[in-house]
Structure 1
Amino acid sequence: MKKKTKWILLSVSGVLLLLLGLQLYYSYVMKDTWNEERMAILAAKQHGQLVSSDKTYKSVWGEDNNYWVVSGKDKDNQVRMVWVKFTDDNVPVEGADAVQSVLLNTGMSEAVMRDQIRNEMPGAVIKRLLPGMYEGEYAWQLQYENNGQRGYRFYRFQDGNAIGNDIILPNQ
């Protein structure tokens, strides 16, 4: 075998081993999150009237405020949002108030919220918008940047009204 061919094979093998190592590391790091997500979807299907899930969101805001929100369709093909409360040990809470299911048409969808935010804050950049829980209410959590300031704003899921004041992050 020529020296050049040997180096090419060794280089390709090294790159493949590196890619395999990166994939294994990524899987190891993400397995707990993927397991939580599976538990949230299972709880949403068992207790939240979902038959299919479309999207999942993880929302953690303060102590005792760890939720996975699962959107999907129920047996009547209506879109639902299901809030699944988790413990600090990252397992679903047991009990009657652990899973709450709400028809999306009784609240504000993500698209409607994005339009509302663009109208309220025309120059703002939406960094992230996800459903969660804030001050005991179902909410949309907005992370935004506007005029060089970064902040959070919470909107009530039911009617889209702001909850409390904006939380402005210090400039870095």
Structure 2
Amino acid sequence: MRASRRTEHNRAPRAMTAGKWVFVIVCFIVFLIVSFVVYIRSSESEYRKDERTAIRIAREQGGLKKIDEALPYTWEESMWIVRGEDERDQIWYVWERKDGIVKKLESEGLSEQQAKQRFSDEYGGDVSPVRIIPAWFDGQPAWEVRYESRTQAGHQAIDFYSFENGAKLKTYELPGTSND
């Protein structure tokens, strides 16, 4: 004898099979991955837009044909610093400030390698540089050298060197680092 329609509709639903569970889990994992990628891309979009703008300005106003790097920089003011080559394969730095650009030929100033050497000559092996980046300090192009002491645990500081002549401009002891 066959059950009535009413009885068929009132039956408990079938339990999910292992295959259905795997499908649901895989869909959820794919959803998480796609959400993560979309989040990362959207969080970087403003930075990438600013970077593209800085590169465009370096090409149009600075005359660079090939861009090696573009760095955002903030100390006294926020700006982009772009390193690249012109049509004669000369390396230039372009500081893109709010009131215009400043363009300097690397060979006529202190190079990154020379800044590193000047820093090493001054401190010897007592400190190790954490980073050396082009900077803007005291109204002029400069090099920023952040370093930590090998003899005083936790002690960090920043030195600024003139891009023009390599003269040391200033040292800042970083707050929150030990100074014993």
Give the TM-score normalised by structure 2. Answer: 0.78
1:115 is aligned, of 109, 114, 117, to 117
Q: Check conservation: 1:67, 1:132, Cα contact below 8 A.
A: no
Q: Check conservation: 2:145, 2:158, Cα contact below 8 A.
A: yes
Q: Distance in 2 between matches of 1:161 and 1:4?
A: 71
1:131 is aligned, of 130, 134, 140, to 134
> Kindly tell me: are residues 9 and 108 of structure 1, through their superposed partners in 2, closer, same or farther at Cα, counting changes over 3 Å?
farther
Q: Distance in 1 between matches of 2:130 and 2:21?
A: 46
Q: How far is the alpha carbon of 1:22 from its aligned partner?
A: 1.6
Q: Distance in 2 between matches of 1:165 and 1:171?
A: 14
Amino acid at match of 1:131: P
Which of 1 and 2 has higher RCO (CA within 8 Å, sep 6+)?
1
Asked if 1:25 is matched to 2:39, the reply is yes
Which one has a bigger Cα radius of gyration? 2
2:158 is aligned, of 135, 147, 152, to 152
Number of residue equivalences: 159
Asked if 1:165 is matched to 2:168, the reply is no
Taking only aligned residues, the RMSD between alpha carbons, in angstroms, comes to 2.1
Runs of 4+ in 1 over 4 A off after TM superposition: none
Q: How far is the alpha carbon of 1:138 from its aligned partner?
A: 0.4
User: Partner residue of 1:89?
Assistant: none
Return 5+ residue gaps in structure 2 as ranges.
Answer: 1-15
SS of equivalent to 2:117: helix
Higher strand share: 1
Give the TM-score normalised by structure 1. Answer: 0.81
Of 151-160 and 113-122, the range deviating more from structure 2? 113-122
Map 1:59-70 → 2, pairs under 5 A: 59-62=73-76, 65-70=77-82
User: Partner residue of 2:104?
Assistant: 102
SS of equivalent to 1:82: strand
Instruction: Report % sequence identity.
Output: 24
Return 5+ residue gaps in structure 1 as ranges.
Answer: 87-92
